[in-house]
Structure formats: structure tokens, C-alpha cells
Homo-oligomer: A and B are copies of this chain.
Amino acid sequence: MISTRPYAEVLARLRRAGLRPTRQRLALAKLLFESGDRHVTAEALHGEAEAAAIRVSLATVYNTLHQFTHAGLLREVVVDAGRSYFDTNISDHHHFFYEASGRLQDVPSAEVKVADLPAPPAGTEVARVEVVIRLRDRAS
């Protein structure tokens, strides 16, 4: 039964990433990774934690999101000035961005073909190619 060991899975995930499994990290990891692919901001995750009666400071939420990102558990996506989104889907994929609502949505990499990329300038290498499809409400 999963419910008898509710933290086993996220605990293993943290250990694999070499992160000390503290209460806060376990709780945040649970929120992040146990409900499918998500795109959260620090504020939003902090709000969820509060709603779930988990006491975590906003600073810790920021720390944790960045640590998870460095550990490869999350991906940071920048689409909106002055707001960072963290994506629990770390596989190769792209995004729809709803400009009106600020919502992000995954687009499987299979549904977009990016070809003929120019060679990276000397001394650099490609860290990632991001495709953002910005959507606006259709007038009509």
C-alpha cells in the first residue's frame, strides 16, 4: 500500500539527487511530483503549502525550487517578465504560453520540429533550445 509510506517515493527521489530529505523538502516534493506535470511559481507553491498546513517559509520555497532545478528534478522556464515558472516535466518538450492568463502548458517535443539550428558560436555549446508558442485570445 502506498498510503502506508506516503513519503517513500519522494524520499527516494531526494536521496537519488543527493539532497538531504528535510521535512520541508519532502513536503514540497510531494506537492510538486505527485500530481502529474506541473508549472508552478514560488508564490503559488508557497500558497499550496500553506493551504496544506505545511509550514515553510517563502525563502525556503525559493531555495528548494533552485536546489531541485540544479539537481535536475525541475526545469526553470522563463516566459513572463518578472516571474519564474518551475516545470516538473524535465523531458524534452516545449510550451504554450497563454499571454492573457499567464498559464503555461506543455507541448510534447514530438509535436514541434526544430531543424537546421545554426552552429553555436565558438567557445559555446547549446544548453537547451526552447520553443515558446505565445497564445492570445482569438478576437471573434
Of the candidates B78, B83, B96, B118, the one whose C-beta lies within 8 Å of that of A80 is B78
A residues 124-140 with Cβ under 8 Å of B? Answer: 124-138
| Total residues of chain A contacting the partner, CB 8 A | 39
Q: Mark A12-45, 1 if CB is under 8 A from B, else 0.
A: 0000000000000000000000000000000000
Contact of A135 with B125 in the complex, beta carbons under 8 Å: yes
**Chain A interface secondary structure, helix, strand, loop or mixed?**
strand
- Which of these binds chain B: A3-11, A46-54, A106-114? A106-114
List B contacts of A102 (CB < 8 A). Answer: none
The CA-CA distance from A112 to B129 in the complex, in Å, is 11
A residues 83-126 with Cβ under 8 Å of B? Answer: 83-84, 96, 98-99, 105, 107, 111-118, 120-121, 123-126
